[in-house]
Amino acid sequence: MKNSRKRWSILLVSVMLMLSLVVLSACSGSGDTAAPSNDASTSDNSASGSDDTSSNGSSEETAPADDLSGTVTAAGSTALQPLVEAAAAKFMELHPNVMVTVQGGGSGTGLSQVSDGAVDIGNSDVFAEEKLDADKAKELVDHQVVAQGFTAIAHKDVGVDNLTKQQLKDIFLGKITNWKDVGGKDQAVVVVNRPTSSGTRATFVKVAFDGEEPIEGNTLTEDSNGTVLKTVAETPGAISYLGLAYLNDTVMALKLDGIEPTVDNIIAGTYPIWSWGHMYTKGEPTGAVKAFLDFMTTDDVAEIARQKNYIAGSDAAKLK
């Protein structure tokens, strides 16, 4: 009796194992096939959507000439997110039949999701080649329509508002550990980093630290712009770096070699710490996705970008 029950339970467990394997392989299998079907559905949407508008011609409040419709989904870089969100809102005003959703998640998430076909646009602070396998990165098309500036920030009471590039580098590499060594107060420096995989950090390492990684050890790491701001605002002697779009007056933006970190100075070419924001699509974009990416280069967006401390439209063209 007892024996048979035992055998029964062993059988049951092995059946479960098989079933879970089936479930799993089904899941991973669908990831590969999702891409083409998703592409198809987007183009379908725009096609069927145009029929909708023509039959709906009686409704006056929708722009009559607008035959653009469908959905656009974008995900990825949180540094880019505020601008893309604002641009999407404006775009939807102009094209009421288009639904644009913008999510964060980080550059890596954006790139893997666009590569899997889960979203139409993957926003990234870094080149796809730096995150994805070479063959996967090759499938993606880079649209460099936005530039974003970055600035070093410090706690308000450090007594310095300007650093030379060498001083900045020495601080993050751990060679300068007290603010008095750069003309400030006698206050220990507290370095606040982003995680090693962060796009913001990658830009700083490349442009400001000449490719050298900042010190680890007794430093803090915060994973979002919000927590970086809060930490630097509250920790005496703290220094970190941030996208210009997130800067507010709870912290002090540090001038670099006497140059203020502003959009104007980046466009003028005097302030060096900025990078392209990449909007990746899988293959050449079509329909609403293409329209949205084209819209990102217009001066409508350039104006939104200026308000939010990004560089887009004709301003971005000057940087190329």
Name which of 140 and 263 has its Cβ closer to another protein: 140
> Least distance to another protein from the beta carbon of 243, Å?
14
Name which of 49 and 82 has its Cβ closer to another protein: 82
> Least distance to another protein from the beta carbon of 103, Å?
11
Name which of 17 and 89 has its Cβ closer to another protein: 17
> Least distance to another protein from the beta carbon of 315, Å?
27
> Least distance to another protein from the beta carbon of 13, Å?
8
Name which of 120 and 315 has its Cβ closer to another protein: 120
Residues at the interface with another protein (CB under 8 A):
16-17, 19-21, 23-24, 78, 104-109, 111-112, 115-116, 130-133, 190, 195-199, 213, 216-223, 227, 230-231, 234-236
The CA-based angle 74-201-252, given to 5 degrees, is 105
- Lookup result for tokens 């870094």: 126
Name which of 82 and 104 has its Cβ closer to another protein: 104
Residue 195 tokens read as 């995680």
> Least distance to another protein from the beta carbon of 111, Å?
5
> Least distance to another protein from the beta carbon of 119, Å?
13
Secondary structure of 134-173 in the HEC alphabet? HHHHHCEEEEEEEEEEEEEEECHHHCCCEECHHHHHHHHC
> Least distance to another protein from the beta carbon of 104, Å?
8
Name which of 212 and 299 has its Cβ closer to another protein: 212
Name which of 130 and 142 has its Cβ closer to another protein: 130
